[in-house]
Amino acid sequence: MRNSSTPDAPDLALDAAVAHARRDDALAIRAEAKAAFHLRMRARGIQDLAVLRAFELVPREFFVPHRYLDLATRDLPLPIDCGQTLLEPWLVGRMIEALGVDRSHRLLEIGAGTGYATAILASLARDVIGIERFQSLALAAQARLTDLAIMNAVIAWGDGLAVPPQVELFDRIIVHGLLDAPTPLVERLANGGVLVCARSVGEGGSQHVVRIEKTGDETSVETAICPCRLQPIVAGIAAAL
């Protein structure tokens, strides 16, 4: 008599085939979503092929809270821990493109968040130092970089607006927030270096991403890149979290 609790070999083969088909479908859906994601980046003006390639290499879903995994390939800002926000990919891409990063550059990132932009920058620059004022965010972001075997970037808990003067000058600095007094950070750039941040424009609370190029010890050139809406960068480290 057949034991009804033991599936026949054809049943096992069918189950395996169905599971394999479901995996293939899931992979195809993810691939389509990723392709659409990058097409949207191009359609919104990101033209630098190295930047686009960097976005292809870094899985955003690895850096978003689990409850938002289904939105990881959408061009949306997403809430993260500590009341912070993971910026929409297009804006991250536009800011990184404005930096003009290459493999010779030593880069400072302020407001590292979950480490998403840090990972992208690490694929473009020689070295990246990310600073995050919330300790729990900094620890989790560094763990993600370690899991992805990213060796040329580190995320530290600290005050990004208080870089010690003895630290070597940077080639590039990116600030993921509103910074209306950028001069102290411009001073941390080597000549020819570039700072990208958000600044207030006129009245009414309007903001633009700006590119500030240091052209001499006391001179710089500022160029507006695109409108944005970012939180102000806060000095000091967070008292909690």
Least confident of 5-9, 112-116, 180-184, 228-232: 5-9
Pair of tokens at residue 22: 């479901």
Identify the pLDDT of residue 203: 75
Contacts of 177 (CB under 8 A, 6+ apart): 110, 111, 197, 198, 230, 231, 232, 233
Residues recorded for the chain: 241
**Ramachandran assignment for 183, one of left (phi > 0), alpha (psi -120 to 50 degrees), beta (any other):** alpha
Identify the pLDDT of residue 37: 76
- The answer to whether 177 touches 133, Cβ cutoff 8 Å, is no
- Tokens 């049943």 correspond to 11
Pair of tokens at residue 199: 């600044």
More confident residue, 63 or 7: 63
CA distance 164 to 192: 21
Mean pLDDT of 23-27: 50
DSSP string, 175-216: EEEE-S--HHHHTTEEEEEEEEEEEE-SSSS-EEEEEEEEEE
pTM: 0.85
Q: What percent of the chain has pLDDT over 70?
A: 87
Which CATH topology does 49-228 take?
Answer: Rossmann fold (3.40.50)
**Per-residue pLDDT reduced to its tens digit, 127-175:** 999 999 999 999 999 999 999 999 999 999 999 999 888 889 999 999 9
Identify the pLDDT of residue 11: 62
Nearest to 198 by CA among 212, 186, 218, 216: 212
At 26, the pLDDT band (50, 70, 90 cuts) reads very low
Identify the pLDDT of residue 166: 86
